[in-house]
Amino acid sequence: MHNTHTQWRSEHAAWMQEITSWQREQQQAVVTIYRLERALPEHKSLLDTHADHIRVHEQEIEDHEKILARLMVGQGNASAYAELLKTHKNAAENHTRMQQQHAEIRQTHLAAMAELKRLASLFEKP
């Protein structure tokens, strides 16, 4: 019996060490959750800004198409065509930057949302 009690006490001590460690980790998790609470609105703002840039770019494309259509039916001169080429080049560069930004946002967003869902599911009761 004495040996059993000694074994139990040893297990209790090990369990208490684990619990102390888990409590520290839980406190660190609270800090992490606080950081997430701050990061999620920032991420939403990034998404909103990116969507606004896409809408502006779409409007620029529509305006560019209207000017191009007028030039194609002979309404314009060489100067107007040169200006159209310049704006097209700028729009192409802008589109490339947006494309890269979108890929970065997609990668971060998908990874973060998948991880958050995974973590949340660990604490949900069946």
> How confident is the model over 90-121, as pLDDT tens digits?
999 999 999 999 999 999 999 999 999 999 99
CA-CA distance, 10 to 24, in Å (whole number)? 22
Q: From 24, 23, 44, 112, select the one nearest 120 (Cα to Cα).
A: 112
**pLDDT in the model for residue 114:** 96
Q: Which residues of the chain carry a pLDDT beneath 70?
A: 126
**pLDDT in the model for residue 18:** 98
* Residue 41: CA count within 13 A, CB half-sphere: 4
Asked whether the whole model's pTM tops 0.95, one would answer no
**pLDDT in the model for residue 24:** 97
- The phi-psi region of residue 75 (left if phi > 0; otherwise alpha if psi is between -120 and 50; otherwise beta) is beta
Domain ranges (residues) in the chain: 2-123
Q: From 45, 57, 59, select the one nearest 105 (Cα to Cα).
A: 45
